[in-house]
Amino acid sequence: MDIRVRYAPSPTGLQHIGSVRTALFNYLYAKSKGGTFILRQEDTDRTRFKDEYVQNLYDTFRWLGFYWDEGPDVGGSTGPYIQSERFDLYRSYAHKLVDSGHAYYCFCQDKRADDDVASGTEEESDAPAAFGYPRTCRSIDPKDAHARVQAGHSHVIRLKIPTEGVTVVNDQLLGRIEWKNADVNPDPVLLKSDGFPTYHLANVVDDHLMGITHVMRAQEWIPSAPLHLIMYAAFGWEPPVLCHLPMVLGQDGHKLSKRHGSTAVDEFRKKGYLPEALINYVAMLGCSYEDGRDLYSLEDLCRLFDMKHINKAPAVFDYVKLEWFNGQYIRMKNDSELAALVTPFLADAGLVSTTPSASESAIVLSAMALVRERLKYLSDAPEALAFLFAEPAVPPAADMIPKKLDAARTVTCLQACSQLLHTVDVHSHEEAEAAFRSKADELGCKLGDLLMPLRMAVTGTKVSPPLFESIAVLGVNKAFPRIERAIAVLKESV
């Protein structure tokens, strides 16, 4: 059997970690089995839909680097893949269910509207909320109901959930879950009064029509599984295999959301995470691959993915560990790859042009070795490399003076440094270090105390990439005036 799975997001928000993980697991499962991964846009909610969310969906997955085999933008044989283009279909299937006696017309008012009215006058209610729809219209004679529909009465179509018996959900991961039908959401709406389908109807109809063989979705969907199974049975269709994935939680143990920090993929992207890191980390949330290994490429994951290794328990999202993965992947980049990644961040910070000149590019490229081991995020790059592109402010004298020295001696040190830089080749780390080391001995101070004032003079900061290499990339000639300015400031403070 050909495996067909789908990712079916609703364009009512930005793509976030949770949804991307669901998509990734579906993708990995499909690829591990030589199957097909499908994108279906579930835009049945008219009130929350926004075009920008659709755009964000495409952008996000292009950036992540895994994509669907069939979908609105790439086509396929079971389209259209946008539910709003399939509304006629849902309508006719809903009516089929009415005709076959599995569903019925309901003329009750929107429950939410009632609630809104009630909550206006009510202070607070301790009374337990009424459980579900009381099935009022289920007993209306179908002929009468039909007549009322013909007469133009506002209505919805509801599914008849059996009042007795059980529905068994055989979850691939969780195993057998037995539901009393009495506990299933009583008679959910399939077709809204505006004629649009609800999620349940559209989802089941499409999964069937698109030949979906496996449905992998978050565990928050478990309660609707029996409902869907009842619908499949009503249609006389074979249901797909269900697999409910463990949820992703925030540090506080609740469903991951904005208040836990960044959750939108866009935010991670803007902060300078690499897609490889995000994919690697997310793939390991609630799943394992090979014992003792942490770093997996997307190709590795496709090969190694196995439903058997999915955990049942929810997983807490750990930003710190993701950060570690990001550092790992940054370090795997070569100079030109990293330069390409970092350049947009430098441009955003105004350090280089939006389309960098040849000389800017050359500097960026040669600077990569300085920062590769120091970046947690790409967005750390501008601060670390600012001194290469702009004159740093001269630090206050007090900051430049090492603990064991005074201003006068610091001036002496800087003057010595300046002299040495005239003669020593900073491109040779060993030579430069040897020269500075013996100079430090000569002056009776530690190498660190000799170099710190120099570091601050040249880079403007206490923390910088290795000094000689930094000066080499900057160009020694640009270092001299910075040293002079620092000396001037120090002399003033004496």
Partner RNA sequence: GUCCCCUUCGUCUAGAGGUUAGGACACCGGGUUUUCAUCCCGGCAACAGGGGUUCGAUUCUCCUAGGGGAUACCA
> Which residues belong to the active site?
258
Q: Binders of RNA among 90-109, rule CB under 7 A?
A: 108-109
Minimum CB distance to RNA smaller for 268 or for 360: 268
Minimum CB distance to RNA smaller for 8 or for 229: 8
Does 131 bind RNA (CB under 7 A)? Our answer is yes
| Nearest of 288, 384, 282, 293 to residue 326 by alpha carbon | 282
Minimum CB distance to RNA smaller for 303 or for 376: 376
Q: How far is the CB of 137 from RNA (least distance, A)?
A: 10
Does 134 bind RNA (CB under 7 A)? Our answer is no
Contact 139, 109 (CB under 8 A): no
Does 467 bind RNA (CB under 7 A)? Our answer is yes
Size of the site for RNA (CB under 7 A): 89
Q: In whole angstroms, what is the distance from residue 336 CA to residue 367 CA?
A: 10
Does 82 bind RNA (CB under 7 A)? Our answer is no
Minimum CB distance to RNA smaller for 285 or for 298: 285
Rounded alpha-carbon distances, angstroms, from residue 165 to 139, 159, 200: 20, 16, 21
Q: Which stretch binds RNA (CB under 7 A): 69-77, 204-212, 261-269, 465-473?
A: 465-473
Q: Binders of RNA among 251-310, rule CB under 7 A?
A: 253-255, 284-288, 291-292, 294, 309
Q: How far is the CB of 44 from RNA (least distance, A)?
A: 4
Q: Binders of RNA among 333-352, rule CB under 7 A?
A: none
Does 143 bind RNA (CB under 7 A)? Our answer is no
Does 316 bind RNA (CB under 7 A)? Our answer is yes
Contact 173, 312 (CB under 8 A): yes
The correct pick among 76, 211, 314, 392 for binding RNA (CB under 7 A) is: 314
Q: Binders of RNA among 26-65, rule CB under 7 A?
A: 42, 44-45, 48
Q: In whole angstroms, what is the distance from residue 275 CA to residue 64 CA?
A: 5
E strand or H helix at 264? none
Q: In whole angstroms, what is the distance from residue 383 CA to residue 378 CA?
A: 10
- Residue 1 identity (one-letter amino acid): M
Q: In whole angstroms, what is the distance from residue 310 CA to residue 244 CA?
A: 10
Does 189 bind RNA (CB under 7 A)? Our answer is yes
Q: Binders of RNA among 433-462, rule CB under 7 A?
A: 433, 447-448, 451-452, 455, 462
Q: How far is the CB of 199 from RNA (least distance, A)?
A: 3
Minimum CB distance to RNA smaller for 411 or for 417: 417
Contact 106, 137 (CB under 8 A): yes
Assign 124 to helix, strand or coil.
coil
Contact 26, 5 (CB under 8 A): yes
Q: How far is the CB of 350 from RNA (least distance, A)?
A: 23
What residues contact 440, with CB distance under 8 A and at least 6 apart?
446, 447, 449, 450
Does 213 bind RNA (CB under 7 A)? Our answer is no
Does 425 bind RNA (CB under 7 A)? Our answer is no
The correct pick among 175, 355, 398, 492 for binding RNA (CB under 7 A) is: 175
Does 198 bind RNA (CB under 7 A)? Our answer is yes
First-to-final CA distance of the chain: 84
Does 231 bind RNA (CB under 7 A)? Our answer is no
Does 133 bind RNA (CB under 7 A)? Our answer is yes
Q: In whole angstroms, what is the distance from residue 98 CA to residue 92 CA?
A: 10
| Nearest of 247, 172, 167, 177 to residue 214 by alpha carbon | 172
With tokens 């350049």, the residue in question is 343
Assign 135 to helix, strand or coil.
coil
Minimum CB distance to RNA smaller for 234 or for 471: 471
What residues contact 284, with CB distance under 8 A and at least 6 apart?
294, 296
Minimum CB distance to RNA smaller for 356 or for 440: 440
